Amino acid sequence: MPGYRDLARDREFRALFAAHVVSVAGDQFARVALTVHVYQRTASAGLTALTYALTFLPDLVGGPLLSGLADRFARRTVMVTADAARVALLLLMALPGIPLWLLATLLLAVQLAGAPHGAARAALLPQILPDERYPLGQALLSTVTQAAQVAGFLTGGALVAWLGPGLVLVADAATFAASALLVRTYLAPRPAPRRPHVRAWPADLAGGAALVWHDRHLRALVALACVSGFYIAGEALAVPYAAGLGAGPAAVGMIFGAYAAGATAGMLALARLGAALQARLMPWLAIAACAALVPAALRPGLAVSLTLFALSGAASAYHLVANTRFVRAVPDASRGQAFGLAVTALRVSQGTGVALAGLAAETTPAHRVVAAAGALGVLAAGGAAVLWWLSAGPSPSDGSSRWDAPSRSDGRDGRQRKYG
């Protein structure tokens, strides 16, 4: 099995890794700066919350509409162009006295530019790591995303207090400039994916959707990913859950931290296992991520609750396996579009889960809502697991499958070859 030292020796992966870290941290800088900026100008909690929500909304549109750019153009070019666009937009946002409607419009544009960038990065990684190092590389990127988000939020808050929102937006622009420079300098130029024929954009979008919908294996992986819409209730209700325990704001941070720490540990552990064992564990971990929340119905104390959230986070590491197998199973020429559609489905499920959990908590204690979401999630994860077993063709008891062995992309024509 390859180790992290093998990844560290790869110059392209080092550059992609560093670019991802600085851009993720920069995203959090902007979120903190914008919410503070809007609240300082309006003193409106509603407008402040709406501004924060706008940083997630474009994923629902950009995923299906813009991810296909990663299949039409050279992926390094797509990433550099997206970063350059975000630099320009953020510098405009940092201008003093800019109207709020224009600020919100520019924010949407910044987030939309992230969709083709993410799709290009996901599609490029199997080309940079075309061997058994790919799952480990994906695990490292997923793990560092969690850490960079936490560090970005903490650092962003300190920077806003020190420099003010405007200069923090400039700092965010600098992170994307650094990302573009790293990608442009250290990633080897690769041509756009070879396609048998170039279709119009609507046909590309429909083709990507048909690819995912008509492939039982891909449908099962998307279904497993969407289970997160249930166990996300723990994070969505962190504030009322902590209040119900009589704990203060520090406990809210501890709840978020418990989930992130569990997810990080789970990803690192899962990445060290063989592909066959990962495939067998994936559906059971999806079930466990929800089942860990069911004991919250007993209203345990803070220590036990943090343990439950950490266990749920650790089990949620199955997303690493689902993500890796999804990207590998999609032909290279359609990888960006298909990945964008899968991310959109994930975001819809999470957004719906957050909204429904919030509505339920208006009339029901938060710990009961979390437990109920966990119980419903067990049923949903069980259904997704059945789809996975049926698509892979094994018996659930022995876990053997034609999908246990990794697949590789044929670099000559973009077709996928399975071997095992």
pLDDT tens sequence across 308-332? 999 999 999 898 888 777 777 666 6
Q: Where in the chain are the domains?
A: 1-185, 201-399+412-420
pLDDT for res 368: 93
Q: With 90 as the cut, is the pLDDT of residue 141 above it? A: no
- Per-residue HEC secondary structure of 349-382 comes to HHHHHHHHHHHHCCCCCHHHHHHHHHHHHHHHHH
The DSSP letter of residue 164 is -
pLDDT for res 2: 56
The dihedral of CA 375, 318, 385, 337: what is its sign? positive
Q: Same CATH topology for 1-185 and 201-399+412-420?
A: yes
Q: What are the pLDDT digits (tens) for 361-376? A: 878 888 999 999 999 9
Contact 362, 286 (CB under 8 A): no
Q: With 50 as the cut, is the pLDDT of residue 353 above it? A: yes
CA-derived radius of gyration, the chain: 21
Contact 121, 20 (CB under 8 A): yes
Q: Which of 110-114, 185-189, 237-241, 352-356 has the highest average model confidence (pLDDT)?
A: 185-189
The mean predicted confidence, pLDDT, of the chain is 76
Query: pTM for this structure?
Result: 0.62
Q: Coil, strand or helix: which one is 417?
A: strand
* CATH hierarchy code of domain 201-399+412-420: 1.20.1250.20
Q: With 70 as the cut, is the pLDDT of residue 384 above it? A: yes
pLDDT for res 403: 43
- Among 3.40.50.1820, 1.10.3720.10, 2.60.40.2470, 1.20.1250.20, what is the CATH number of 1-185? 1.20.1250.20
